[in-house]
Amino acid sequence: MRIEDQPAYVLHARPWRETSLLVEVLSLEHGRLGLLARGVQGPKKQALRAALQPLQAIRFDAQQSGELAQLRRAESQDVAPRLHGHAMLAGFYINELVMRLTPRQDPLPELYEAYGELRQRLPEVDSLAWALRRFERDLLDALGFGFDWSCAADGEPIDPAARYRLDPLQGPLRLLSERGSNERRGLATGTALRALAEDQAPGNSDVASLRLQMRAVLLHHLGGRGLKSWEMLGDLVRPQP
C-alpha cells in the first residue's frame, strides 16, 4: 500500500543500524505507524533528520508492506515547539502514552486533532495539569475506553460535592461513606469530573484530584505496566497554589 502526502506528528525516533532510523508517527488517515527511514546520515540528509524529531509536524510518503512502512519522503510543516522544563516532560509523556496505548494502523482522527491542539499549546498553556487531564480524557474517548463524565456508574448525575473513584470498566463510583481524609484526597472531586464533561477548567485543587484516578484508569489499559515518563514527571505537573 502506498501512503502519499500524509500529515502526521512524530512521536519517537531511534537509531537503527548505522545510517537509519525507526520512527513512530501519529498520522491523520492511518493512525499510528512505524516507519523505517533509511540512509538519514550525512550533511545532505540534515533536513530529513530534523523533520523526524519528536513533536514535529510532517507530511510524508511511504510504502507499507508489513509492520513497518518504508519512508520515501518527509518534510517539516512547521517549527516544532521549543519546550523546556515541565512542558518538555509533558511532551515526552503524551508521546509515550500514545505509543503505548494506540494500536498501529487504526485511524483515530479525533485523537490526531486533540494531539495537535495540545502540541500547539504546550509552550504557553496556563495549567499544564489540566491540559494533560483533557488529553487523557480525549485519548480514552478515542479508543472507546472513556466514560460519560457527567454521570456516575449507577446513572446518577455527578454530584459536585461528592468524591469519586474511577473504575476503568464501570466509570465513576461515588464514595458513599465518610472515610479517612487520606482516602478522600486520593479520589476525584465531582466538580473535577463535571469540568471534564463540560470542558471547563476547574480550580487547582479539583484538577489535582484527577491525577491519581486518571492514572489508575490508564494503568489498567496499559496492562499494569507503567510509563517511564511517570517516573520523570513525579509531582512536577501538579497545579501550584
pLDDT digit string (tens) for 122-154?
988 888 999 999 999 999 999 999 999 999 999
Burial class (CB in 10 A: 0-12, 13-18, 19+), 116: middle
Domain 85-233 = CATH 3.20.20.370? no
Q: Where in the chain is the domain with CATH 2.40.50.140?
A: 2-76
165-221 pLDDT per residue, tens: 999 999 999 998 655 555 677 899 999 999 999 999 999 999 999 999 999 999 999
| CATH 1.20.1440.120 residue spans of the chain | 85-233
Q: Which of 36-40, 97-101, 183-187 has the highest mean pLDDT?
A: 97-101
Place of cell 466538580: 191
Residue 229: HSE in the Cβ half-sphere, 13 Å Cα cutoff: 19
* CATH 2.40.50.140 matches 2-76: yes
Q: How far apart are CA 73 and CA 175, in angstroms?
A: 54
